[in-house]
Structure 1
């Protein structure tokens, strides 16, 4: 873990729970794509930088999930690097309590205010194309989170952040986190047609051909949507539906899974209602979902 993997002359990634991209701007200066999940990850990254005689100039965050910005504060304090985050993700990076608050839908209790869901705050600036290294392309990848982006380096290496998961992860956890299902599917369709010398997803193996994995993720979304519609053949409250989905997929309920899977299921419900496949009714002061 935290092994430095070279993809091309200047493009690398650091093998970690959420892959960290690294790009050599010149012989001494490097920048990172994301920073890992906590201070310890940041420390291991700094050790790699020091061992290679590299100076960190900037961190480009793909989005503001805690496992991608957790090393920000430590690395910025150690190196003075600048941090950039796209769109609304910049606000979440500056005020990371927004992540568990958004997921829970209210003030998060202590069980949710920990490094898995809430990174330390860091001083981030809005990510613009002008802030990127020369020759980089900014790739919008909405769906998984609000304003998530990826990057293409001049060597045609594409860093894909969390826009798809590995087959192993999907087979184990089944319901991967999604904020906007329609945007997520559009992103996957776009990714499926991309060409690159190498693709580096944060939670799947680097590959030259991303299309089969993109399709596997699309199929899983459609499968889950179908299961929700099946369960909603009779009116279901959100809690009833969530319990049945956990039982069907063999998932174990805890605070983290309740907010992550629960938020995702609500996103599916919104998408299915907006596309006319679900309707709602209010009965006995309960909101009930039913297949159209």
Structure 2
């Protein structure tokens, strides 16, 4: 873990729970794409950079989930590097309590205010075409989270962030976290059209062809949507939908899964309602979800 792996002349990734990209800007300077899940990840990344005699100039965050920005604060404090984050993700990076608050739907209780859901705050600036390295291209990948992006480098390497999960992950956990189902499916279709020398997803193996895995993610997303629609055959509350999904998929509920999977299920419900497949009904002062027959 935290091994530096070279994939082209100037492009690398650091093998970690969420892969960190590293790109040489010249013989001395490097930038990284995301920063790992906590202060210790940042320390290990810095050690790799220092061991090669490089200087960290900037962190380019793909999105603001804690496992991608957790090393920001440590690295910025110890190297003086700049941090850039896209759109609404920048606000979440600067004010990290927003993530557990968003996931819970209110002020997050103490069990949710930890490093896996709430990174240390860092001084991020808004990402734009004007502040990316020469030859880089921002690739917009909405759906998984608010304004997620990936990056294409001059070496024709594409860092894909969290827009795609490995088959093993999908088969094990069944329901991948996402924010907007419609945009997520559009992003998956879009990445099937991309050409690159190497694709570097944060949570799947590095590969030369992304199409098959993208389609697998599409199929699994539709499978979950169909499952939820089926559960809504009769009016049912959100809590019982979540319980049914966990029981049917053999998953175990805890506070982290409640907010992560729960938020995702609500996003599916929104999409199913907006596409006319389910509706909201109120019974005995309870909001219930029901399939439109």
The TM-score bracket by the shorter chain reads over 0.9
Alpha-carbon shift at residue 194 of structure 1 (Å)? 1.0
- Distance apart, 1:72 and its partner CA: 0.2
Deviation of the 1:192 alpha carbon: 1.1
- In the other structure, the counterpart of 1:251 is 251
2:183 matched to 1:183? Answer: yes
Q: Secondary structure at the match of 1:281?
A: strand
Residue 208 of structure 1 aligns with which residue?
A: 208
Matches of 2:130 and 2:144 in 1, distance apart?
Answer: 25
Alignment partner, residue 285 of structure 2? 285
1:144 aligns with 2:144: yes
Q: Distance in 1 between matches of 2:267 and 2:46?
A: 37
How big is the shift at 1:251? 0.8
Partner of 1:10: 10
Note the 1:101-250 alignment, pairs <5 A: 101-250=101-250
Distance, in Å, in 2 between the alignment partners of 1:76 and 1:100 is 23
Q: Deviations over 1:148-191 (max 9, x none)?
A: 00000001000000001000100110101010000000000001
1:61-119 Cα shifts (integer Å, max 9, x gaps): 00000000000000001100000000000000000000000000000001000000000
Aligned to 1:266: 266
**Distance in 1 separating the partners of 2:230 and 2:69:** 38
Distance 2:120 2:279 in 1: 40
Alpha-carbon distance between aligned partners in 2 of 1:290 and 1:120, rounded to the nearest angstrom: 40
Q: Does 1:57 align with 2:36?
A: no
Q: Partner of 1:78 in structure 2?
A: 78
Query: What 5-or-longer segments of structure 2 have no aligned partner?
Result: none
2:23 is aligned to 23
Counterpart-to-counterpart distance in 1, 2:10 and 2:47? 19
Secondary structure of the 1:266 match is helix
TM-score (norm 1): 1.00
Secondary structure of 2:21's match? Answer: strand
Q: TM-score, normalised by structure 2?
A: 0.99
Quote the Cα distance in structure 2 between the aligned partners of 1:33 and 1:8: 16
1:227 Cα deviation from its structure 2 partner = 0.5
Q: Distance in 1 between matches of 2:46 and 2:237?
A: 48
Structure 1 vs Structure 2 CA RMSD:
0.4
Aligned length: 292
Deviation at 1:35, TM superposition (A): 0.2
Instruction: List, as ranges, runs of 4+ consecutive aligned residues in structure 1 with deviation greater than 3 Å.
Output: none
Q: Give, in whole Å, the separation in 1 of the partners of 2:96 and 2:33.
A: 18
